[in-house]
Amino acid sequence: MLQTAEAVIPDAARRDAMRGVSATQAGELLEFERLNRVFTAIYDGASENPPMRSSLQVLRDVFAAKHTTLILRPATVQSAGAIINTDTVNLEASESYRTHFHALDPFVDLPDGEVVTPEELMGPRWRKSTFYRQFMEPVEVGHLIGADLHLASGIECRFRISRDTHAEPFSENDKGVARAVLPHLKRAIQLHARLDDLESERQLFAGTLNRMQLGTISVARDGTVIDLNPEAQRIVAEKDGLLLSGRHLGADSTTERRELQRVLRLALDGKGAAQGPSVIDALPISRPSGRGKLCLVVRAVPHGVSPASQQRAAAVIFVRDPEATRMQGANEVVRRLFNFTRMEAALALHLADGLTLDEAAEQLGVRRNTARTYLRFIFCKTGVTRQTTLVRMLLNNIVSLA
């Protein structure tokens, strides 16, 4: 039986809502509040991790259910799938379904978007099935309704609601409410899938920047720093030229600090950002230690049409330490692409970093003549005949993608 509106709205709020309205209006208001709570939970669930967990909790209460389950990705022989349950589910039973009973489950491949019971789908065969007797009965699940959702992106999900053996079977009214919920659940899953894709892309790009040892510093509209990637954290932590005071970025040099603030203000003004990320300016930051200057590039971030947020980046500062050690992944990429030995790959990358052959030999701990021999092998394998051509090829085509 569905939970009543009175049970989900606090007494004080309910009394305030009822004041000055007719009985009919009060009933409509209570029904609106109940549905609003359900739909809010569904859409909030799209951004949760794991997704939809709180949504399933609310739906379990609404349907007076034992469990509510969302199978975002059905299990296969190759994959355990992705199953989201309410926290009342027995973990051992959930794992046994994921690893074994999913293959025996006959309550699958339901008509898209239709809410049905196993009895409607299979008749008496349902309670005689191995799945019901060996999986459902031991966990005291006696009643079940479900629907399959087919999204335009090709995603197929399964939504299931269960009650225990001694509860009332699901009624036509229950099924009607489930049908009303399905379109919202489907949209929330689509939203989650999109957010998940964006997060995967973000992690991919963030990982690439880290491997390239390119620092990124995100700055909010008010000029405060809101995020630094690991390479930027390393550079700032050295306190050698680029400084972070509180949540504001600065420089050791007074002249460079003023120039940095000027360039940053220009980016934060947002002029031209609506047309896409554009380079505002580039500037060097000298280091008191005497090491090579840090290279900074500032870009404005497009603001779009969404409301302004203090936690949203309005500008990004890219920082490059010219003396940073080449990322480990580049050696393996170069080695595989050109069939280099590890020493040949290391030499090629040192040359791409701007070292002379003598300096590279010293870094590698080999004699100059040995380094020359490695260089001849590199020329032979790449088909180039000049060191400058080799460096250009590595920088343009390989190292930036490693």
For 152-211, give the DSSP string: TTS-EEEEEEEEETTSPPPPHHHHHHHHHHHHHHHHHHHHHHHHHHHHHHHHHHHHHHHH
Does the model's pTM come out above 0.85? no
Chain segment 7-16, per-residue pLDDT in tens = 444 555 555 5
Chain segment 148-201, per-residue pLDDT in tens = 998 877 778 999 999 999 999 999 999 998 998 999 999 999 898 888 888 888
- Find the range with the poorest average confidence among 156-160, 321-325, 336-340: 321-325
Does 291 score more than 80 pLDDT? yes
The confidence band for 270, taking pLDDT boundaries of 50, 70 and 90, is low
Are 205 and 199 spatial neighbours (Cβ–Cβ below 8 Å)? no
Mean pLDDT of the chain: 82
The confidence band for 343, taking pLDDT boundaries of 50, 70 and 90, is very high
Does 346 score more than 70 pLDDT? yes
Domains of the chain and CATH, by start: 5-198 (3.30.450.80), 212-320 (3.30.450.20), 328-401 (1.10.10.10)
The confidence band for 5, taking pLDDT boundaries of 50, 70 and 90, is very low
Does 253 score more than 60 pLDDT? yes
The confidence band for 218, taking pLDDT boundaries of 50, 70 and 90, is very high
Sequence-distant contacts of 232-239: CB under 8 A, at least 24 apart: 232/319, 235/294, 235/319, 235/321
Chain segment 53-75, per-residue pLDDT in tens = 888 999 999 899 999 999 887 76
